[in-house]
Chain A
Amino acid sequence: MVRDITLGQFLPGDSLMHRLDPRAKLGLTLSVIVFIFVAGNFLGLAVMTGLVFLGMAVSGVSIGRYLKSLKVVLLVVLFTSLLNLFYGGGEVLWEWGFLRITWGGVSNSIFVAVRIIVLIFASSVLTFTTSPTQLTDALERLMKPLSLIRVPVHEIAMMMTIALRFIPTLLEETDKIMNAQKARGADMESGGILKRVKALVPVLVPLFVSSFRRAYELATAMECRCYRGGKGRTKMKILHMKARDYISCGVAAAAGAGVILLRIFITHPYL
């Protein structure tokens, strides 16, 4: 049933991770992602992995959930690490025709795999513990300075809020329209790609029409509720950075500094 769809993968909870300021969380995740790429060797990567594992541990979400989030990218991980296996130099381990596996390749392949997995874990920590609404809110506030250079920050955030609100409604509606057209004998399950795309017309047209109707009614409702853009608006929920937010940023900064230092001073090929 489409009704059960929840957007993103937010898992309500009350862990330390859940309670962190969404701005701090968003900033942390972005910098962790950057530093995972900055980490040029295994030691640096290990530092970041440790940091991400720490985040996972304090998120109160079971490890099973995290492993499940890997399922979607499993193929990407396998493919890229397989590709990397055949690159790199060093001692040759196995050779067949033009294919050659070296120590360098093995190390590369493991490095890339770990990097992707940790990246997924890091973003999962964010999406598991932050509701889409909080994320929008954090984005709006972090982007606020951009409004000085005429970026319509409030409008972008409003659009995201409305999108989040209406995606489940539209999914549900798609389901209904599909059933209705199937009841009129529409065949959406067989035939080649072209036929299937064509079969979508009876679904997409009503969906567009109804989206416009919804948009019109929503605009009226917003007007009724005194909406006139971002000017003069206040917010019910105000975000405050607390000690825990500053401490977590500090930990992340330390880890980042570590990664940079390791990258500069450790040059051993397999570390």
Chain B
Amino acid sequence: MEYLQTQELTYSYHKEPPLTLALDGVTLGIGKGEFVALLGHNGCGKSTLAKQFNALILPSGGTVFVDSMDTKDQSLTFEIRRQVGLVQQNPDNQLVASVVEEDVAFGPENIGVPPGEIREQVDAALKAVGMYEYRTHAPHKLSGGQKQRVAIAGILAMQPACIVLDEPTAMLDPRGRREVLETVWKLNREKGITVVLITHYMEEAAQADRVVVMDRGKVLLDGTPRQVFSQVDLLKEHALDVPQATELMALLRREGCEVPNDVLTAEECTKVLEGLLGGTQTG
């Protein structure tokens, strides 16, 4: 069993028929230390799945295991939430206190960590997200990217094994988006924290170890970014984006050019094109 494991997971927001299933038989395992991007358009069930991972909602059918703990066992809820932190979209609505460091301390205080240790965990968390210098600031004066990093620190201070981020960059400008993503990457690489990143930005997903695409409550595609994004037509059919580099290759292939279908970045694409254009340089 993987660190996060769902088995035939179904979920409906309605208690009575007609049951529209937000999740419809999802079996998915996410290993410790993995960086998984979760894609899909609005209403495909990805946020619902995210909330299953820390027992905010419980399965209507099937099971969810977090580190072999069944989320339906209410005596384990607390430990599950400590292990799996959830960061939401709107950074404004997840900060509780009006001083950055006191907000970050909120989680450890709830767990009942002794005061001296809270201080250490808070300082370490703030340093890990690069917000230590702002520890005495008021959250409402920070930029969106900074607020979101404080929110991540608030989760980090609980010393989780996994962070689930539900469109953490949707409301941010490009700079804020970069800040947040770099932070998440660092936590994954340096601290081995398992990351589940829900996003609409394909560039963000292209960097992940693994991409899972959801559609109508089911897993549509699951594989490495190269495997997933090479399915340009299928993704477009489900109103999802692919990186422009990947799409260019698909368009050229349609015109009869022999180009690989698993190109993701601008650099790779340029290299492929150079190979094709060979000696047509003018200067």
Question: In the complex they form, do A and B come into direct contact, defined as C-beta atoms under 8 angstroms apart?
Answer: yes
Chain A residues near B (Cβ < 8 Å): 3, 6-7, 131-133, 161-162, 164-165, 168-169, 172, 213-214, 217-218, 220-228, 232-238
Bound form: Cα–Cα A6–B141 in Å: 10
Residue pair A217, B88 in contact (C-beta under 8 Å): yes
Bound form: Cα–Cα A132–B98 in Å: 9
Residue pair B78, A238 in contact (C-beta under 8 Å): no
Q: How far is the CB of B262 from the nearest CB of chain A, in Å?
A: 36
Name the contact of A233 in the complex, choosing from B82, B109, B119 (C-beta under 8 A).
B109
Residues in A neighbouring B155, C-beta threshold 8 A: 224-225
Residues in B neighbouring A165, C-beta threshold 8 A: 95-98, 139-140
Q: Known: A217-B90, A234-B112. Contact between A222 and B118, CB under 8 A?
A: no
A-B contact pairs, 6 of them (CB 8 A): A214-B90, A221-B96, A226-B111, A227-B110, A232-B110, A234-B108
Which 9 residue pairs across A and B have the least CB separation, nearest first?
Answer: A221-B94, A217-B93, A236-B105, A225-B107, A236-B118, A168-B140, A226-B110, A224-B86, A165-B98
Residues in B neighbouring A172, C-beta threshold 8 A: 140
Report the interface size for chain B: residues with CB under 8 A from the other chain: 41
- Additional 5 contacts, C-beta under 8 A, given A221-B151, A234-B118: A165-B139, A221-B93, A224-B54, A233-B109, A236-B122
Bound form: Cα–Cα A172–B142 in Å: 13
Q: How far is the CB of B102 from the nearest CB of chain A, in Å?
A: 6
Q: Mark B64-79, 1 if CB is under 8 A from A, else 0.
A: 0000000000000010
Bound form: Cα–Cα A133–B140 in Å: 14
Q: B278 contacts the other chain (Cβ, under 8 Å)? A: no
Residues in B neighbouring A217, C-beta threshold 8 A: 88, 90, 93-94
Residue pair B115, A236 in contact (C-beta under 8 Å): yes
Bound form: Cα–Cα A224–B151 in Å: 11
Bound form: Cα–Cα A128–B52 in Å: 46
Of chain B, the residue at the smallest CB distance from A228 is B110
Bound form: Cα–Cα A213–B115 in Å: 33
Count chain A CB atoms within 10 A of each CB in B54, B112, B140, B154 and give the residue with the most: B140
- B residues 116-132 with Cβ under 8 Å of A? 118-119, 122
Q: B92 contacts the other chain (Cβ, under 8 Å)? A: yes
Bound form: Cα–Cα A220–B96 in Å: 11
- B residues 195-240 with Cβ under 8 Å of A? none
Of chain B, the residue at the smallest CB distance from A2 is B140
Bound form: Cα–Cα A239–B99 in Å: 17
Bound form: Cα–Cα A224–B107 in Å: 9
Q: How far is the CB of B168 from the nearest CB of chain A, in Å?
A: 12
Q: How far is the CB of B10 from the nearest CB of chain A, in Å?
A: 22
Residues in B neighbouring A214, C-beta threshold 8 A: 90, 92-93
Bound form: Cα–Cα A39–B105 in Å: 44
Residues in A neighbouring B78, C-beta threshold 8 A: 226, 228
Residues in A neighbouring B266, C-beta threshold 8 A: none
Q: B1 contacts the other chain (Cβ, under 8 Å)? A: no
Residue pair B110, A161 in contact (C-beta under 8 Å): no
Name the contact of B113 in the complex, choosing from A213, A224, A234 (C-beta under 8 A).
A234
Q: B114 contacts the other chain (Cβ, under 8 Å)? A: yes
Q: How far is the CB of B139 from the nearest CB of chain A, in Å?
A: 7
Count chain A CB atoms within 10 A of each CB in B85, B97, B110 and give the residue with the most: B110
